[in-house]
Amino acid sequence: MLDKWRRVWQASAPMSELPKAYEPSAVEARWYAAWLDGKCFEANPASGKDAYSIVIPPPNVTGILHLGHVLNNALQDILARRARQKGKEVLWLPGTDHAGIATQAKVERELRESEGLSRRDLGREEFLKRVWDFKNKHGDIIIKQLKRLGCSCDWSRERFTMDEAYTKWVSYVFVELFKEGLIYRGKRMVNWCPVSLTALSDEEVIMTPQRSKLYFMKYQLADAPGEYLEISTTRPETLMGDVAVAVNPKDPRFAKHIGRKVLRPFPQAEIPIIADEHVDIEFGTGALKITPAHDKADFEIGKRHGLEIIDVLTPDGRIECPECPELHGLDRFVARKKAAAMLEEMGLLLKVEEYENNVGFSERAHVPVEPRISMQWFLKYPCVKEAADAVANGEIKFRPERWAKTYAHWMENLQDWCISRQLWWGHQIPVWYRKDKLEALKNAESLDMADLSAGDIHVGIEPPADAVNWTRDEDVMDTWFSSWLWPFATMGDVGENSPTLAKFYPTTDLVTGPDIIFFWVARMIMAGFRFAGEIPFGNVFFTSIIRDLQGRKMSKSLGNSPDPIDLMEKYGADGLRFGLLRIAPVGADLRFDESAVEEGRNFANKLYNACRFRQMAGTDRCDGIADTAGLPPYHLNVMSRLDELAADLEEAYADYRFGEIAQRLYEFLWNDFCDKFLEAVKLDLRESATPAARAMTLGTFDAVMSRYLQLLSPYMPHIAEELSARMGYVAEGEFLMMKLLPAAPLVSGDAKAARDQAAAIYEAAGRMRNLKAEYQVASRKDVRFVVRGAPAWLAAEIQVLALLAGAGGIEIDAAYEAPKGTPAAITPVGEVYMPLEGLIDVEAERARISKEIERVRVEVKKCEGKLGNASFVDRAPAEVVEQEKARLEDWRRKLEQLGEMLAALA
């Protein structure tokens, strides 16, 4: 390991010979390999150090990295790396999710496109083999991408939700909850995806506003030909499944109808008019057709009134109603139009209105889901109260806190979770049925628990001993039924006395998106209580959702989702991390702009060049500043600013204010360190400087920079490690990322006087530069200034001030009488004058200004003429006229300024 590290070190040329611009790619790859080699990321459960742990939200195994992953994982990496610097034993546990529907759909599509086959053509066993092949081929792409980003995960512990041991956990949990009576099988109204051909949980249905049509029709009263009841519906195609018409019992319009019957148009039948509170008197005609098989609300009403259920749809969303041959076999949306046309022909369609309503769409297949009655497995959530309380009482802390309210609301309205999926890729339900019993019942679809005696069903992790006599339930479980076990199922096997679990569970932080608060976070809390005996994590940090500049979600189809790998190639992983983090707001969505990443890259370059500059001034290493008492104000100032930065970061980390941390790191390096300190001490680094001054300045540089790189390291780990190594801030064989953050500040005493002095000099220099710019001599270096009313200490700093101000010289003259018209400024170091005498050729300058005045006057006249022209003002667009007015104002202002300058010359 040490040898390898030495090779890394030796690959580094002296900084002063390196290119002017920082080139991240090679550096980043080199250090990542070195960290892996040094086993820097591996967690030791036997360590005596305090534990810090975090489990990765497992990305889809066949997924590829997008910006959301970058943000999410960069944040986790920052937390993990910071914890290491604080002396914690860190476990960041990585892995991937099998992502049932998404992965199966991918493989099915590929199969269809390349071989024209469906999964049923292959059969379950062969198809699953194909999915595993696909997983093995594409499964490590996202892992490689996370490594490219610099993620310090303990890769030796990588888990997959379909690993054998993990699968055992899933079965175990199912069996336990079944035994407890919380898992049951039943025929219920579920969300059915007609494309994926599976049931979905409520959370997988996305309500989307749709422009649709509201059909008004009339049903004839059975006992009174010629008398009709008006009904409105958005779904005429399910009319054949109508078994009643409901009205509100409080609705006076229909009171006389209740108990009578109407004629359903096709297939013709008499159906009752019933009264139900659910019907909204205000909506439509106030009468609601009841189709218990195809609407959740209708199903409930049907149950209340003991109505028949007539299913008229196939699983893939076509009409199944042989009694109505015109519609039989048609797709549901085609049938809708056809049904409306049929009603019209029969003279029963009154009108059609445009109407916007919410339709549930399948999260994965992007088609409207169909409410459908089917036999599924359901879970009554365990430990609901404990889970709700844990967040309410702050045992688990949500950040931003407001998400706790969303969580509480969901927890108070829990519905049983439909956990079975009619897929093949996933954890198969660990339930077996006796074959002879199944045959007797004809088909498993209608298999009711009531029909089975204890001897007919086997629920267990292992198959029954006489397996040949049993058939396993074909369904698999919802992917989230495995994900919700992630924090503890990744740390030890079922029944194992796991040292990892003992050391690292509960985890410290969870970093995830607020969009999966129900899917994942809430369920993990319940599973944690039920199966690990306590909360799964102490803090949950919800990240921003990343949008484009128009505020749209990133998506492949919109093409607005930049490939993070491309960004890293262009700007470096550090640049991407830093740039993205710096613009990440605390509780709001993030509008992504590539220029942010460019700034991250530029920042890395700035840092690199500051270090290159220092190396060019001498490669001797100063052993540290023994005594800060005698240091010049710039040195003390920058050190004390660094101490302040370290303290501010400490507070910001405690509050998870990641964007602010990046911003503070950025400001310190660029403003305090480069623009101020480095510019002020340049004299000390010239050939002419004394060795003592040089050593003191280099020493200060090293003292500050070595600590700064450490503070920066969680955000930009590669460049921080690289520069620390090149500059000799870490000993051979040592990694910056493993070094403890120093506790003591750089400046032990009071630095206020030094800071005030430095601030005064910097501000005075700025005012002097203003004067130069105002009188058009910004780039001249021979400008002289006179200071009146200077404090005594200024004399010692006059050369530095001149350097910062870009002045040829500065005199301190308490008795200076400035000639009339001499440009002057009030500064913290006294009144500063910039005598024009000798600086500019007064005659030439006067001539130049006069000429300029003439030119501007012409412009003013031009503008005035244009604006005085009635045909322009009346006919030109208002915008153009306004523009012209603004231009006139500008020219007038300029004229005034020039007049003042001319007066000053007199």
Site for RNA in 669-688 (CB under 7 A): 670, 674-675, 678-679
**CB-nearer residue toward RNA: 223 or 896:** 896
Hey, CA dihedral for 575, 576, 577, 582, is it positive or negative?
positive
**Which residues pair with residue 760 across a beta bridge?**
none
Q: Which of 47, 595, 619, 799 binds RNA (CB under 7 A)?
A: 595
Taken as a whole, the chain contains a residue count of 906
Distance in angstroms (rounded) separating the CA atoms of residues 259 and 465: 57
For the chain, the first-to-last Cα distance in angstroms comes to 76
DSSP secondary structure letters along 674-686: IIIIIHHTGGGGS
The least distance separating RNA from the CB of residue 281, rounded to whole angstroms, comes to 7
Q: Which of 523, 612, 635, 718 binds RNA (CB under 7 A)?
A: 612
Could you give phi then psi for residue 269, rounded to 5 degrees? -165, 155
> Which positions from 241 through 280 interact with RNA, judged by CB under 7 A?
278-280
Q: Does 593 participate in binding RNA (rule CB under 7 A)?
A: yes
The least distance separating RNA from the CB of residue 215, rounded to whole angstroms, comes to 9
Distance in angstroms (rounded) separating the CA atoms of residues 325 and 316: 18
> Which positions from 213 through 232 interact with RNA, judged by CB under 7 A?
232
The contact mask relative to RNA for 378-407 (x = CB under 7 A, - = no) is ------------------------x--xx-
Q: Does 513 participate in binding RNA (rule CB under 7 A)?
A: no
The least distance separating RNA from the CB of residue 483, rounded to whole angstroms, comes to 17
Q: Which residues of 421-459 are buried (b: 16+ CB within 10 A; e: fewer)?
A: bbbbbbbbbbbbbbeebbeebeeeeebeeeebeeebbbb
Q: Which of 394, 733, 766, 809 binds RNA (CB under 7 A)?
A: 766
**CB-nearer residue toward RNA: 33 or 773:** 773
The contact mask relative to RNA for 19-58 (x = CB under 7 A, - = no) is -xxxx-----------------------------------
**CB-nearer residue toward RNA: 425 or 608:** 608
**CB-nearer residue toward RNA: 503 or 641:** 641
Would you say 847 and 905 are in contact if contact means Cβ atoms under 8 Å apart? no
Q: Does 613 participate in binding RNA (rule CB under 7 A)?
A: yes
Long-range contacts of 220-223 (CB under 8 A, 24+ apart): 220/262, 220/263, 221/257, 221/260, 221/261, 221/262, 221/263, 222/260, 222/261, 222/262, 222/263, 222/270, 223/260, 223/261
> Which positions from 295 through 314 interact with RNA, judged by CB under 7 A?
295-297, 300
Q: Which of 270, 448, 534, 589 binds RNA (CB under 7 A)?
A: 589
The least distance separating RNA from the CB of residue 121, rounded to whole angstroms, comes to 36
Q: Does 284 participate in binding RNA (rule CB under 7 A)?
A: yes
The contact mask relative to RNA for 184-203 (x = CB under 7 A, - = no) is ------------------xx
What tokens appear for 465 in the block?
A: 């001993």
The contact mask relative to RNA for 773-792 (x = CB under 7 A, - = no) is xx---xx-------------
The least distance separating RNA from the CB of residue 354, rounded to whole angstroms, comes to 13
Could you give phi then psi for residue 573, rounded to 5 degrees? -65, -40
Distance set, CA 297 to CA 31, 219, 304, 510 (Å): 60, 21, 11, 38
Q: How many residues bind RNA (CB under 7 A)?
A: 75
The contact mask relative to RNA for 704-743 (x = CB under 7 A, - = no) is ----------------------------------------
Nearest to 73 by CA among 139, 144, 152: 152
What tokens appear for 509 in the block?
A: 């932080």
**CB-nearer residue toward RNA: 297 or 881:** 297
Q: Does 903 participate in binding RNA (rule CB under 7 A)?
A: no
**CB-nearer residue toward RNA: 128 or 546:** 546
Distance in angstroms (rounded) separating the CA atoms of residues 302 and 288: 12
The least distance separating RNA from the CB of residue 155, rounded to whole angstroms, comes to 30
The least distance separating RNA from the CB of residue 288, rounded to whole angstroms, comes to 4
Task: For residue 806, give the H/E element and its range.
Answer: none
**Three-class SS state of 293:** coil
The span of 48-56, 70-78, 285-293, 861-869 binding RNA (CB under 7 A) equals 285-293
